[in-house]
């Protein structure tokens, strides 16, 4: 049952960490007050897999997306999770991107020789991203992002069967052009928080500290291919200040395809290569908390 809970938590992480990041097509130049946000050449924020680039939408631009995240694999049985996010994003003020979204998460666990348990979360939130400075003016781009959301949980008895869920993500998104017009890099630092109002005291407040790094290569003007590495550390407490629960390291390939000037499709698959957890110290993987495999497929449209 505990493993089922944490796989559900892994699915929830994707809501805050991977919502929005929609802008690709750059419309007409915006007001001079946002000069530090403009780039000489746009770089799709989704070109880095689970990591995110620093570009934000230009003033008055609109985009929508359907983002799908899948997780699978856990210790002692069959574990799985899915999160779907539907989002619309725009910019009402220079350098600030706002994206409200709805999400649905499903997760389950079937122990070897035991009965399957599963649960769902239905909720919504808003992601806000502010670009502090751009690659064109500083050599690197940096954006700060938050993504609070609320949901209703129904399922595993560890939550008493029903619970209200609050989650939030604080992220710093940095990227740079490493080889002119060809190779780009991104670094993300994130604190993810989740809180439940109807569960065991030790599971009411949980958090993760995540570091993501990625490289992407512009094979053509429409196709980016690359690789990503990610380290995640889970603890109790809302500010990663409680007991250690688990850690995991992931690697995997990434791609983004600009189908035309309106549609983009991006995806990634990564697998856990190292880790440990409280239930099995010294083990090589943290699979009591973090899934073995994670995948993402996202379709976005720029209006």
- pLDDT at position 17 is 47
Gap between the Cα atoms of 237 and 181, Å rounded:
43
Q: Tell me how many domains the chain contains.
A: 1
Query: Does the global pTM surpass 0.75?
Result: yes
Cβ pair 85, 18 in contact under 8 A: yes
In order, the DSSP letters of 253-291 are EEEEEE-SSSEEEEEEEEEEEEEEETTSTT-S--TTTS-
Cβ pair 281, 245 in contact under 8 A: no
Percentage helix, strand, coil, to 5, in the chain? 10, 60, 30
Gap between the Cα atoms of 287 and 292, Å rounded:
6
Torsion, Cα 150 156 158 163, to 10 degrees, reads 30
Q: Is the pLDDT of residue 12 over 50?
A: no
Counting residues of the chain whose pLDDT is more than 70, the rounded percentage is 82
- pLDDT at position 209 is 94
Gap between the Cα atoms of 288 and 28, Å rounded:
49
Boundaries of domain holding 227: 2-302
Question: When comparing pLDDT for 225 and 21, which is higher?
Answer: 225
CATH at 178: 2.40.160.40
Q: Residues 148-199: pLDDT tens digits?
A: 999 988 776 555 566 788 899 999 999 999 999 899 999 999 999 988 776 5
Question: When comparing pLDDT for 24 and 290, which is higher?
Answer: 290
Q: Is the pLDDT of residue 22 over 60?
A: no
């Amino acid at each position: 049952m505990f493993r089922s809970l944490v796989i559900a938590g892994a699915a929830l992480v994707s809501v805050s960490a991977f919502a929005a990041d929609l802008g690709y097509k750059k419309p007409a130049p915006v007001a001079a007050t946002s000069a530090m946000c403009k780039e000489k050449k746009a770089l799709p924020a989704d070109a880095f897999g689970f990591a995110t680039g620093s570009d934000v939408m230009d003033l008055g631009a609109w985009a929508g997306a359907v983002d799908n995240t899948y997780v699978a694999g856990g210790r002692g049985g069959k574990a799985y999770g899915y999160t779907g996010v539907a989002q619309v994003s725009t910019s009402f003020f220079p350098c600030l991107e706002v994206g409200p979204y709805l999400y649905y998460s499903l997760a389950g666990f079937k122990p070897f020789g035991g009965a399957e348990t599963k649960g769902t979360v239905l909720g919504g939130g808003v992601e806000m991203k502010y670009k502090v400075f751009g690659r064109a003016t500083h050599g690197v781009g940096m954006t700060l992002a938050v993504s609070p959301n609320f949901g209703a949980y129904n399922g595993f008895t560890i939550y008493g069967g029903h619970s209200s869920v609050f989650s939030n993500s604080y992220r710093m998104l940095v990227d740079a052009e490493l080889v002119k017009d060809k190779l780009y890099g991104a670094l993300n630092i994130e604190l993810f928080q989740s809180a439940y109002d109807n569960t065991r005291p030790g599971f009411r407040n949980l958090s993760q500290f995540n570091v993501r790094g990625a490289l992407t290569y512009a094979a053509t003007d429409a196709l980016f291919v690359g690789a990503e590495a990610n380290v995640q550390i889970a603890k109790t407490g809302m500010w990663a200040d409680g007991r250690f629960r688990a850690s995991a390291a992931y690697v995997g390939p990434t791609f983004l395809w600009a189908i035309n000037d309106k549609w983009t499709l991006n995806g990634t698959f990564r697998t856990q290569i190292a880790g440990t957890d409280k239930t099995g110290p010294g083990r090589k993987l943290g699979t009591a908390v973090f899934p073995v495999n994670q995948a993402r497929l996202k379709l976005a449209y720029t209006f």
